[in-house]
Amino acid sequence: MTRRSKLALDPAMVRTARRLAKRAAAPVEKLARTHTTVSVERAILRLAGLSGADASGIPWVNRLVEAVQADTGLDHGVALPAWAAVVREGLDLPTLAEKAAAGGVTFTLPTGRDRQRARSAADKAVAAGLRRIDRNRRVREQLTRKLGDPPFPWVYLIVATGDIDEDIPQAQAAAREGADVIAVIRSTGQSLLDYVPEGATHEGFAGTYATQENFRLMRAALDDVSRELGRYVRLTNYASGLCMPEIATLAGLERLDMMLNDCMYGIIFRDINPIRTFVDQRFSRQIHARAGIIINTGEDNYLTTADAVDAAHTVIVSQLLNERFAREAGLADWQLGLGHAFEINPDIPDQFRLELAHAQLVRELFPSAPLKYMPPTKHMSGNVFAGYLLNAFFNLAGVMTDQSIILVGMMTEGIHTPFLSDRDLALENVRYVRNSCGNLAEDFHPPANGLIQQRARQVLGESIDLLERICDDGLLSAIADGTFGVTKRPADGGRGLDGVVAKADGYHNPASAVLEEAM
């Protein structure tokens, strides 16, 4: 789609911004290529079909990676020592994991012909998982063709009961009410677990655990309702956190359609180690690229802590970095659901015009990306009537600036999990704005050098200034200095650093070998 700039942005400035983002990302990309993590290695085992958990609920992939790490370290990857043992002991992977957890296997790094045999066994096992991901991508393409694919903007609704059995009827009801995308919010703090829980789950803290079985159950339920409605209803979950590579893999294996996957969210908001995060996000995005999954980035989060006017440029900078890291990992532009939000204080004069400037700027900087626009949260008070009005203005801004994925704002945001009626009223709001405005975007032409154009150019200018500083200091130092959000995150701090390992010469990862080749 080609769009004429409504903001009279200087194409040279846009190119400069991208060039700086690429330069800022380069050292971190190198770190990501030269390191692995326990979660990347566990993802390999999941691709090879290893699932389930021991009696205490610790997944077998964790137990096996721990056992291999204890014997050989992980600098050559889990695959070679694990499949050397598979070949040597004549066991299948689940039996090996069980035996290893009981201390009954000694792992060694194979050499010579043993190495060749282990490598080809590992490659074969992991290829089966990649084939399943490829098959799911084709099934999605077939279903969207056969059942119908809703046009943008997609209506995105959240379900979060904690119990997958309750989530399913709620998700189906939401789809019948008009949702194009169902997001199942995770249990509070799952991003900090260094393992993926197992099985169908029925209790969570303000959300439902992301597990392979929960993914499967919900996707099957949405397939049913998609057939009933004659349109493909997409399913979203959350990859960010300590298990980004594994959750991305499970999403590919169970045909999820979109995944929250931000290059810095875990660092800033969850105090996960920066290097762990960057290594994990690269592998997880390679998997998403392969699976045809659309990622959603989390820039809206910045504006819930920082001021939406003062920090507008940090959103743009993060989007440019997310785009850069995503492209480097092989994602296509149609897979980049870059996030932003309608979070300016409604008491500020010209609030709506400033929101339009920001939203249009994002639209024009990323013309082919399915942008995800988030409703107000910070300035939603207990006054549900005022909140309903604010959500209408959010919906209007979304239509006027041609946003792609619209998260439906609830007037009871921050009060309780949405009532059935809250959701229905919210959808009525969206429907009214969409129907009454139609293709209002084609009529929206901010005047030359008016407030909207000037504000957009100012934010772009500030973004370039910040990117220049990041290039000078290094991205890791910028994060350590509290550039994003308000929090300082040093490169050697945070959770999960002990799970990061520098790759040795001869490191082998059967999935990466295939994924890198495809890029």
Q: Residue 41 in contact with residue 395, Cβ under 8 Å?
A: no
Say if CB 376 and CB 342 are below 8 A apart. Answer: yes
For position 220 contacting another protein by CB under 8 A, the verdict is: no
Torsion-angle region of residue 381: left (phi > 0), alpha (psi -120 to 50) or beta? beta
Under rule CB under 8 A, residue 237 binds another protein: no
Of 62-70, 123-131, 414-422, 498-506, the window that binds another protein (rule: CB under 8 A) is 414-422
Q: Which of 152, 205, 334, 432 binds another protein (CB under 8 A)?
A: 205
Instruction: Tell whether residue 176 is a contact of another protein (CB under 8 A).
Output: yes
* 188 binds another protein per the rule CB under 8 A: yes
Q: Is 53 in the site for another protein (CB under 8 A)?
A: no
Q: Quick check: 152 binds another protein (CB under 8 A)? A: no
Residue 413 sits in the site that holds another protein (CB under 8 A): yes
Among 29, 223, 271, 468, binds another protein (CB under 8 A): 271
State the catalytic residue, choosing from 156, 209, 238, 265.
265
Residues 156, 394: Cα–Cα separation, whole Å: 14
* Residue from 3, 10, 8, 15 nearest 452 by CA: 8
Q: Identify whether 372 is a catalytic site residue.
A: yes
Written as one string, the DSSP assignment of 368-413 is TS--EEE---TT--S-HHHHHHHHHHHHHHHHHTT-SEEEPPPTTT
- Secondary element (H or E) of residue 337: strand 336-337
Among 27, 52, 57, 414, binds another protein (CB under 8 A): 414
Round to whole Å and give the CA distance between 131 and 142.
16
127 burial via Cβ count (<10 Å: 0-12, 13-18, 19+):
middle
Catalytic pick from 372, 388, 402, 503? Answer: 372
HSE of 446, CA atoms in CB hemisphere, 13 A? 26
* Binding piece for another protein, criterion CB under 8 A, among 83-91, 113-121, 153-161, 479-487: 479-487
Among 5, 108, 304, 458, binds another protein (CB under 8 A): 304
Under the criterion CB under 8 A, does residue 269 sit at the interface with another protein? yes
Task: Name the nearest CA neighbour of 45 among 33, 60, 66.
Answer: 60
Q: Which is nearer to another protein, 2 or 421 (CB)?
A: 421
Min dist. Cβ of residue 113 to another protein (A)? 44
Please choose, out of 17-25, 63-71, 327-335, 482-490, the segment that lies near another protein by the rule CB under 8 A.
Answer: 482-490
Contacts with another protein: how many residues (CB under 8 A)? 27
- Any contact of residue 502 with another protein (CB under 8 A)? no
Q: Which stretch binds another protein (CB under 8 A): 41-49, 152-160, 243-251, 481-489?
A: 481-489
Structural tokens at position 121: 């066994």
C-beta of residue 493 within 8 angstroms of C-beta of residue 270: no
Judge whether 257 counts as a catalytic residue.
no
Report the SS3 class of residue 504. coil
Region of 142-150, 269-277, 366-374, 457-465 interacting with another protein (CB under 8 A): 269-277
177 closest CA partner among 229, 104, 219: 229
Query: Residue 307 interacts with another protein (CB under 8 A)?
Result: no
User: Is 146 part of the annotated catalytic residue set?
Assistant: no
Local structure of residue 192 (DSSP, 8 states) = G
Indicate which residues carry an active-site annotation.
265, 300, 372
Residues that bind another protein (CB under 8 A): 173, 176-177, 188-189, 192, 205-206, 268-271, 301, 304-305, 377, 413-414, 419-421, 424-425, 485-487, 495
